[in-house]
Chain A
Amino acid sequence: MAKRRKIAVLFGGRSVEHEISVITALQLMLAVDPALYDITPVYIAPNGCWYTGDALLNRTFYASVPGSLSALTEVTLLPKPGINGLTVQATGLVLPVDVFVPVFHGQYGEDGCIQGLFELAQVPYTGSSVAASAITMNKYFCKVYLGAHGVPVLPAALINRDDARADIEATVESICSRSEFSSFPLFIKPCNLGSSIGVSRVGAKHELAAALAKVFRYDTHALVEPCVSEIMEINVSVRDVGRAQASVVEIPVSQSGVLSYEEKYLRPGGKKSGPSQGMASLSRIIDPPDLDPDIRNEVVSHAVRSFSLLGCSGVARLDFIYDLAAGKLYFNELNAFPGSCAFYLWARTAPRVLYTELINDMIETALRTHQSFASLDRDIGLRALKGA
């Protein structure tokens, strides 16, 4: 039997989606093939400290954080190539790791920050690179970039918190003076967050200021978008297996017009009321049989193309909006690391990809990418300094 690879699954983190990351990671660790991989769970507490220990595999552990953290071992990843593992803070010992698996949603984990650390440490990691993660996390950058490449996107305005704080009335006026935002409702959302946190559907001009102020609790930039009144959301997952491959599509079912954080994550799944299973428990129609094949094909083709244009890797989920009244499709956003790793879509795709295989492929792709980068010549010597 081949030697089992050591994988470090990193989760938690300093984003507002901390809990969701924990839920996704617990699901993912259960699905990892134990014959192939040896898991080291690494929990990044809300204060930014990294911990490892078997207790992290138990969901009940998280109810008593931070008190329960004292039973764990504090570790870190030093930004120094050649260590190839986690360093124990107290002793300096190294816990070897072959591949790092970041399981984060939101800031610092899905936006290129931790990916930058992996690059500095020169270790293989799953998922998208620094640049792809950073661009996809910023909803505005992502739209502008894809829009420039011909992917249809809704118009958007970017509002800076400092401008709004200095003169909110002028900010509101400037939004309303733009023709694409002249009629309500509008959507106001944080530019750099997922999970519907801070999102408002604004029905009238006098509600705009409060909605912007709500966004600015969480983000320094707000995005204003028109609201498609007769909307159908269509999501699809795309993954990197040497080429971009798309899953079946899904239509999430929302109860209030905008999927709130509560709807996405706090509503118990299915009929049995139990602990939240994150995105996997949301009401949805997977692979809707009566969806127009033309729309489905358009979604898939835009999704695969966007994934490639952005240089994504691993498993992503791309969310589209279909305007039922106008018969138009728009790219909405891309999750570089989607909730529940979108495994529920891959389980229904033909040929079927089970969660375990999804993870295997992510890890193998990470190793391939790492090797591909290692073959780049970086050492051109110190010619300028030596020549001086």
Chain B
Amino acid sequence: MLHNLSLGILLLGLLEFGYCRTLSFLRYFQQEEYSSSRFLAWIKEKRAIDTRGTAILALAGLLSLILPGGWTTLVIAALATLGLSIVVRIAEEDPRRSGKLKLNMTQRASKIVLVSFGLFALLATGPVVLLLKCCGGGERDLAYFALWGICMAQAPGALLVVANKLLWPAEKALQDRFYADAKRILREVDPFVIGITGSYGKTGAKAALGDLLTQCVGPTFWPKKSINTVMGITRTIREALSPVHRFAVIEMGAYNRGSIKRLCDFTPPKAALVTAVGIMHLERFGSPENVYVAKSEIAQALPPDGILVCNGDSPNARRMAVEHASGKTLLYGLDQSAGPLDCYASDIAFSAQGTSFLIHWGGRSFPGRTPLLGRPALSNALGAFTMACALGAEPAYAVACLANLAPVDNRLVLDSKAGSVSFLRDAYNSNPTGFAAALEVLQALPAKRRIVMTPGMVELGDQQQAQNRRLATMCASVADLVIVVGRINREAILAGLADAEYPKAQIVAVETRDEGFAALSERQSPGDLVLIENDLGDLLEGAVRF
């Protein structure tokens, strides 16, 4: 009886452990967009294997072999269960409530948990039944079961992949149905679709264009935040596209060659805005040329009388305007040195109130301002302005509307309090252009001391080291204190700072962003301006410990 009870108690502990771990792994699986290969690669890279549960189970197994049976076994099982519970309930955070990117329990996530944990429970319970039925309850059963538990502790990640595979046919059918429904709505509403793509800046440009068109020309639909995949767009179309909409601004994300073409087949654009063709996500594409080819799919999808608006400051976006010119092709930018621009801004100045400028368009100049900060935001606003004017907006009114644009979350947003520490949050995935622009704003705004906290930039392929080093050197001329977060780019950043002979006493290197903020609060004082550059997703942040 005691024997059965011990196994039962440990089984309960293992089940609770398995359930919580399933959720923990699911958070990362979800961040990898349920891609099995990317998720498994992440597990491999981060060595996301269980150590805590394994240690407890190993100890329990060992003790049950050494110590006499009976009550002792029961105590060992109870302590092991308690230990497992403490690990997952107290030592580890609930992925649904904490962490920068929380686990979002969507219907799909719930189904995956159900199947995945079902498999876990089946696999965990099976041996217990087997031990009781067949072996008749031997002295060493708890040790055997603990050994099996160690295997099971490693299983949740793999089981998620299996569950996802099992559920895929039903999920695919559901997605197809939603896709067809969204297609039908698009056909019925028939808005003028403007596609936006770019290595960076597309979300900001989308929000600015959606707003300008709504204010200046007519009601416009645009998926909020950075929704840029077929399923994300499908969902927003079904929820929010209505017959009142004259325009639809669709952000098109490229993950590989063909992904923009797929989006263009789904929502065929009549106009396209290309904000930049850079070196972001180089690891996914292989080469800068592949990035260019992938982004060009948007220009190729335009009809003969289409409108193509490209950022002339980005050499490859400029190249696209030449190689894939459309019915009407326009270039915008902040720098005329690379060639003529149809729309450009000059007299750019930054202040705590935002950015002021002079826009040149159609042979006229319009003074204006926007609460948005930095050259990238101004460039996006300019791209939106050019497109809106091409679609019938009155330029002087469009300039007036730029003054009322709302900043996009965490993209160089100033959070200032008089008599306190001010923050410039540029927390979104960073790139060399954005980083340099953030430093320019940091330099331009009044502050007692300027502090930069960053883990550097990622996904820059073989240029990652060099670019981080270059930007670190730029930091040296602006910042009074640099806090380097994590180990991903630590070496490169320190080397860049050393290149500029930056005093070591003004550098702090920490492991995690929490430690970074702790270091910051120790050193900050009123009047300081802190640039938070690139607040990486949990996925990329340091080591994962289980």
Binding site for B on A (CB under 8 A): 164-169, 206, 209-210, 212-214, 216-217
Is A213 in contact with B404, judged by CB distance below 8 angstroms? Answer: yes
Q: Which residues of the partner chain A approach B399 to less than 8 Å between Cβ atoms?
A: 209
Listed residue (B215, B394, B401) with the most chain A CB atoms within 10 angstroms of its CB: B401
CB distance from A59 to the nearest CB of B (A): 22
Q: Which residues of the partner chain B approach A164 to less than 8 Å between Cβ atoms?
A: 397
Q: Which residues of the partner chain B approach A165 to less than 8 Å between Cβ atoms?
A: 216, 394, 397
Is A210 in contact with B394, judged by CB distance below 8 angstroms? Answer: no
Q: Which residues of the partner chain A approach B403 to less than 8 Å between Cβ atoms?
A: 209-210, 213-214
Is B367 in contact with A209, judged by CB distance below 8 angstroms? Answer: no
Assuming the contacts A166-B394, A167-B394, A206-B367, asked whether A217 and B400 have C-beta atoms less than 8 A apart, the reply is: no
Is A213 in contact with B367, judged by CB distance below 8 angstroms? Answer: no
Is B396 an interface residue when CB atoms closer than 8 A count as contact? Answer: yes
Q: Which residues of the partner chain B approach A166 to less than 8 Å between Cβ atoms?
A: 394
Is B400 in contact with A212, judged by CB distance below 8 angstroms? Answer: yes
Q: Which residues of the partner chain A approach B401 to less than 8 Å between Cβ atoms?
A: 210, 213
Is B369 an interface residue when CB atoms closer than 8 A count as contact? Answer: yes
Q: Which residues of the partner chain A approach B396 to less than 8 Å between Cβ atoms?
A: 167-169, 209
Q: Which of B318-372 contact A (CB under 8 A)?
A: 367-369
CB distance from B406 to the nearest CB of A (A): 10
CB distance from A220 to the nearest CB of B (A): 12
Kindly identify which residue among B215, B367, B397 contacts A217, using a CB–CB cutoff of 8 Å: B215
Supply 30 A–B pairs (Cβ within 8 Å), ascending by A.
Answer: A164-B397, A165-B216, A165-B394, A166-B394, A167-B394, A168-B394, A168-B396, A168-B397, A206-B367, A209-B396, A209-B397, A209-B399, A209-B400, A209-B403, A210-B369, A210-B400, A210-B403, A210-B404, A212-B400, A213-B215, A213-B397, A213-B400, A213-B401, A213-B403, A213-B404, A214-B403, A214-B404, A216-B215, A217-B215, A217-B404
CB distance from A383 to the nearest CB of B (A): 43
CB distance from B157 to the nearest CB of A (A): 30
Q: Which residues of the partner chain B approach A212 to less than 8 Å between Cβ atoms?
A: 400
Listed residue (B368, B400, B403, B404) with the most chain A CB atoms within 10 angstroms of its CB: B400
Q: Which residues of the partner chain A approach B368 to less than 8 Å between Cβ atoms?
A: 210
Going nearest first, the 9 A-B pairs with the smallest beta carbon separation are A210-B403, A209-B400, A213-B400, A168-B397, A213-B401, A168-B396, A210-B400, A214-B404, A169-B396
Query: Closest residue to B368 on the A side, CB-wise?
Result: A210
The distance in angstroms between the C-alpha atoms of A212 and B394, with both chains bound, is 14
CB distance from A272 to the nearest CB of B (A): 22
CB distance from B236 to the nearest CB of A (A): 15
Q: C-beta contact mask, B403-429 vs A, less than 8 Å → 1, else 0? A: 110000000000000000000000000
Query: Closest residue to B369 on the A side, CB-wise?
Result: A210
The distance in angstroms between the C-alpha atoms of A209 and B369, with both chains bound, is 11
Q: Which residues of the partner chain B approach A217 to less than 8 Å between Cβ atoms?
A: 215, 404
Q: Which of B200-227 contact A (CB under 8 A)?
A: 215-216
CB distance from B214 to the nearest CB of A (A): 8
The distance in angstroms between the C-alpha atoms of A169 and B404, with both chains bound, is 17
Q: Which residues of the partner chain A approach B215 to less than 8 Å between Cβ atoms?
A: 213, 216-217
The distance in angstroms between the C-alpha atoms of A168 and B368, with both chains bound, is 13
Query: Closest residue to A171 on the B side, CB-wise?
Result: B397
Query: Closest residue to A215 on the B side, CB-wise?
Result: B404
Is B404 in contact with A168, judged by CB distance below 8 angstroms? Answer: no
